[in-house]
Amino acid sequence: MNISNLESAKVFHFFEEISKIPRPSFHEKAISEYLVNFAKERNLEARADDAFNVVIKKPGTKGYENAKTVAIQGHTDMVCEKNKDVEHDFLKDPIKLIYEGDILKADRTTLGSDNGIAVAMALALLDSNNIEHPPIEAIFTSCEESGMEGVNALDVSDLKASIFLNIDSDEEGIFTVGCAGGIKCTIDIPVSFENNSNNSYCLGVYGLMGGHSGIDVNKGRANSNKLLARLLNSLAKNIDFSLNKIEGGAKDNAIPREAEAIISLDDKNLDLLNEKLKEIEKIYKEEYKNTDANLSLKIAPVDKAEKSFTKEDFYKIINAIMIMPNGVQTMSTDIEGLVESSINLGVVSTTDNGIEIIASIRSAVSSKKELIMEQVELFINSIGGKIQFRGDYPAWEYKKDSVIRDKCVEVYKEIYNKEPKLEIIHAGLECGLFAKKMPSLDLVSFGPNLYDIHTPDERASISSIDRTWKFLLKLLKQLN
């Protein structure tokens, strides 16, 4: 597909530009500076804050000077995941883009279309001299993926927008009109160590599908941290070994795809371990044949580890990971098929003093979120661990009356001659916080077709991006 011939060519141009700028959560300084310089070069009003949020304002075009101000909003950070065999430093290296037919993807890393497409569309709009539109406030927030710290820190006192277009949804033809709230928890479990005299091996769970912990949580995909703990527990019933280290997952809001443990044992037990590993792999493959077809268990020798967890603490850690709730907790009784509350055991890592677990809790009902928090806290306290909660954000509640929602439906029907879907989702969007900060806002979220976001298999449909861009332009044209 020839991108230069598309009406959305400028969108892809700016997506390519921002893909050159590393932008993990908490590292948005460079993209923030790029956005401010972009505005200065075009004589547009702009401001940035200490959290690296950026707001750029553009007056309405001729005939739209007195129309209601429209906010175009997206977040600048991206989830940074890669395949284990890929050498890529997300703090330094640009994303390597690959155009393949109708698909835009990266070279075995996350693409950053979540939410780089929104950023690119906003820049294309701000850059244009011939698009008809009302006054625009382009709002670029930071740290959405880590806990929405950016929007929490954003000063909205100078914003005049009454219409709010969030371009952070990932399925064309669906307008998001509500979402779950959420919070993240960090758990620290202290352990004691003892000297190790045996040879060491890396035991790992690989090849899982992973996915977005909100969007994909109800698809039955395996969690590598859970599978690894279960594997270690099963092996310990037949084989004497010690645990030196355990690591799994990269982000609390991504279903973990890989997990590894360093174990040490007398080599006379190695044949039995390999035999049991094959048996357990066969069981796992059967259980997850429809969701994680590439699942594999592997073992390889590594440098000898000097320290191991005590036997008591080995079981404490394995039991904690196995017993910790994970996945869907409740389904909505109001909307058929909608996940109401969930928790994702996203990251497990070994520290100098013990084990750290990071999980993401989501719920459309605040009391259910608080219940999960209380359950996890009681359990962690019972085993002598400590827990901290951060990044709390509210649910975006559905409103019966919405002018912008009705206008979106109208414009979509004009273009495609069919009804779009209206959907409340379990994933978290910044709309809930904006609605809380600016109660008079009329909000809607939409976006193009994106696939397997928060994983190295992330892909974006080029034609869908083009259609979404055309929809946005027609929508803005009618907001006068």
Residues with a catalytic annotation lie at 77, 144
Distance CA 117, CA 232 (A): 41
Nearest Cα neighbor of 448 from 175, 215, 172, 212 is 172
Amino acid at 305: A
Tokens 């059967």, residue located = 286
Pairing, β 339-350 against β 354-363: antiparallel
Nearest Cα neighbor of 420 from 401, 446, 395, 399 is 446
Distance CA 365, CA 340 (A): 7
Q: Are 345 and 246 in contact (CB under 8 A)?
A: no
Distance CA 191, CA 317 (A): 8
Q: Are 260 and 250 in contact (CB under 8 A)?
A: no
Token duo for residue 336: 């058929």
DSSP state of 224: H
Token duo for residue 348: 């497990």
Across 316-404, where does the E strand assignment appear?
Answer: 327-331, 339-350, 354-363, 386-393
